[in-house]
Structure 1
């Protein structure tokens, strides 16, 4: 790069920094953390409007500067490539960070969102990365990672390392969280350390070989209640008779059916279902410390006087027991998947010897591969039906039985507001853990391919109600005869001109894109695919576009360069879950509120913008 070019870049950075600093200074002195006036007086609204106008003006300047800077970078890269085509060295990469402010309104005009926090996201970041064909092997739990997937060490693990390395050690290799504030303690390795540090004895052993219960109660940012719980019980007894009692299980299923699925498929266990010879701390053993179904296990526990538990069977492997929030909604199922990942990290467990127990009465469902492959070690997970079949009402004692985290306590659900956090270890490590567990790791060359794959996440009423579709009279409590009245499941937020949108987006394949980019368009209905097929689509998608809905959880499995375009139709858009997930993963996020039917010129314009971001 010439000296003149360097001077221009440095000067531009200084100007941008001063503009951003001045705006941020004014805003931080006049607006509180939530973007509301810090003094509720007559002038507060005027002050906020002044700051918003200042930020909008700043954003306009930054957009113009971004275009200039991108042009400078491209020129510099071309010069350097001409001078040293055969040399390896650092390259400048324009980081992509496009939010709703780059959307388009219903009339086709450029739309800009109002400020919702103390600092408007500035879509301009320069990242300098060393691009090499290989990197030194990374040590992981005594094994070596090949280091082919930069920033994704889990993807490079051999089978032994993936099975044997404790999850906390895997996650610890994912650093670089951005956003400041509480981001590290809410979505980084700090969350795991903080959760583990809360451990206290809730039931004290009476002897070295006696029972004990240690619980980890953490208070997450902005979460209601007294905290979210994870407990580890040692040398305790599980009486499995509640699972063999048809009177109990039939009532649970009847209530689930009669309330139209409002009652969850959970047993309310009899006292003594869980037993231990330890002394409870009454100051801690309280209902308010055990949210949701955690409290069912609290009330089921009985401290017995016997020094020796009356066990029919002893199980030595570490066991994690949980109850799923549901079984056929990918977003809410992901609460349990992420919580399982967190629990293993807090407990410093690997999956090698892990025994999972899903104590709810739900059937396996469409996402079983995640339990049966990703979290499976040497033993397959056990459902409540499996407990009935395997133990037949016996009293089973466990050396280490963890009671898992309530699904609704998952960080991916708790944070429904727009967080400033980006590139979070929790989401990045979890996503890689899933992809590696399903053995769907892609070659790194795909991440820089000239082919940009656009996936339309179709939202169609194309499948039966999951209760009927996944019923199993032979191996579950969901008897098929109970669900014959259910037919095709209706969905909200379906695009009324779905096929017109598909036709319009397909024309992007015929556009001549810069830099030799070729666009491939896919119209995909995830309802008709297996879970592995769904993730295979994710890892080969560069632009994911679709209406707000649970399926957009899939965006966390896409390559780093990918873009999520979320469409808010029919009044959706109250929460920021998918905005956050995209940012936590470290990818570009775009959004637009649209009419339904969707204007095809509007959506093709937005998708074109997303393609250009990938191709930049």
Structure 2
């Protein structure tokens, strides 16, 4: 399965499918975990917070209009952004096309066709000309009979679950012409290509923006839980019905999900009839009330097991080295911007002041792909106790930071919730600029409209105020129980 060892008791929960499979398989090396009562939280019978992967915190009461404080508030947060979300997807899955024999096809989808899985899928690409298309997610791509399987179709279910039809919100457009076929899939007469490995078909958000692209990967990870499989011996197909270039800056991330670390574009099957024995259409990055782009989070809460597990999963699968805390220093990483906007005008002065504090180990980095490969960036982020940067996608690197870490969004550029909510989901301490009277905004304007805009400006910050916020963040790191324990474990051998 190649998951962190600390996740094995949860993945092999005795009431779950994987645990049962392992118990029956004589060669399964994880039998010691198969009697585990630990569970992620979405499994049937997993109702005790003491057994679940993590219980969120709600230190602040939600404002009027939400729900009461206490367990109700925690439960709402868990359903919106944690494994409770996975549970709601799993619970809504219904048979859209049912098999009548073991060799038949099947199609099971969640509410609004946001997640689908099944067996023996047939797709006919012989009519489609990818070079003639300019819309990556063209909605009328298939005619009746060009996609389907040999199973009993519940057409009424399809009709009821088309409300969220939209490129990155559901799979309805791709599957609305799924039909019951008169032949078995796969079959020699109807399949030019047969894929035997479990196959994941994905529609992707912007591959040049870490924030948006990691919404793809977080939803893919959540979908592994929905599907109940963590195997990386899979094929990944990117659903794009054009030949347009897709900018992919984070290609190494695919190594966390596929053994090959690669994916195939749909255009590879142009002119062919494709049959897939085991398939999954995962959760999408811009779903209504989805994860994490459109998540309507109840205020006052922080920390989710889902985001914490995702972080651990990535670090494990990407083979990132974890060096742990330093003995007497706090590792601080400042993300430098060399773009035309959102630069720190007096950065040199701030860095000079930071370096006067002997406790701070300061690292100024420019996460430029020309100079620093992505996995090296991830390693730096993972070994940063405090990460600081202006509002921007680079702050998504907080997903790779250790559990005790802190994030300092130096200025949120009048977009206060984006990275604050991501930090809350990840369970990290969040800080940002508090006093606009102690910063100076440049005279830059929006390059297209000519208007002044907070995201299209450069800033100078009061050094004393900057240092105050850093001190505050550092003190919270030093008091964090995870940090204290990690530092103790790392250096206790030397002590004795």
TM-score by length of 2: 0.71
Change (3 A) 1:531 1:265: farther
Contact 2:137–2:167 (CA<8 Å) still a contact in 1? no
Contact 2:80–2:296 (CA<8 Å) still a contact in 1? no
SS of equivalent residue, structure 1 residue 285 = helix
Matched, 1:299 2:176: yes
| Aligned position for 1:453 | 331
SS of equivalent residue, structure 2 residue 388 = strand
Matched, 1:341 2:221: yes
CA distance in 2, matches of 1:580, 1:356: 30
Matched, 1:231 2:73: no
Matches within 5 A, 1:66-465: 139=9, 174-179=53-58, 180-217=74-111, 227=112, 229-241=114-126, 245=129, 248-252=130-134, 264=136, 269-271=141-143, 272-286=145-159, 287-288=162-163, 290-293=165-168, 294-307=171-184, 310-360=190-240, 362-363=245-246, 365-371=248-254, 373-377=255-259, 379-384=260-265, 387-389=266-268, 391=269, 393-409=271-287, 410-415=290-295, 419-443=299-323, 446-447=324-325, 449-461=327-339
CA distance in 1, matches of 2:251, 2:369: 14
CA distance in 2, matches of 1:174, 1:342: 14
Runs of 4+ in 1 over 6 A off after TM superposition: 135-138, 140-143
Contact 1:339–1:405 (CA<8 Å) still a contact in 2? yes
SS of equivalent residue, structure 1 residue 589 = strand
Matches within 5 A, 1:46-65: none
Contact 1:228–1:405 (CA<8 Å) still a contact in 2? no
CA distance in 2, matches of 1:502, 1:300: 59
Q: After TM superposition, give the deviation of residue 215 of structure 1 in Å.
A: 0.6
Q: After TM superposition, give the deviation of residue 424 of structure 1 in Å.
A: 0.8
Contact 2:285–2:291 (CA<8 Å) still a contact in 1? no
Change (3 A) 1:399 1:572: same
Q: Runs of 5+ in structure 2 lacking a partner?
A: 14-28, 42-51, 59-73, 442-458, 480-496
Contact 2:108–2:116 (CA<8 Å) still a contact in 1? yes
| Aligned position for 2:415 | 572
CA distance in 1, matches of 2:257, 2:367: 26
Q: After TM superposition, give the deviation of residue 586 of structure 1 in Å.
A: 2.1
CA distance in 1, matches of 2:106, 2:362: 57
Change (3 A) 1:137 1:523: closer
SS of equivalent residue, structure 2 residue 176 = helix
| Aligned position for 2:349 | 503
CA distance in 2, matches of 1:418, 1:197: 22
Change (3 A) 1:563 1:572: same
CA distance in 1, matches of 2:207, 2:140: 19
CA distance in 2, matches of 1:519, 1:448: 9
1:524-574: CA deviation from partner (whole Å, max 9, x where unpaired): 34454321122112111121111222221111211222211113354333x
Change (3 A) 1:551 1:265: farther
TM-score by length of 1: 0.58
Tell me how many residue pairs correspond in the alignment: 394
Contact 1:427–1:581 (CA<8 Å) still a contact in 2? no
Contact 2:332–2:360 (CA<8 Å) still a contact in 1? no
Q: After TM superposition, give the deviation of residue 250 of structure 1 in Å.
A: 4.1
1:169-205: CA deviation from partner (whole Å, max 9, x where unpaired): 9956732322313122223333222221111111233
Q: After TM superposition, give the deviation of residue 282 of structure 1 in Å.
A: 2.7
Larger radius of gyration: 1
Q: After TM superposition, give the deviation of residue 430 of structure 1 in Å.
A: 0.5
Change (3 A) 1:312 1:412: same
| Aligned position for 1:612 | 475
SS of equivalent residue, structure 1 residue 350 = coil
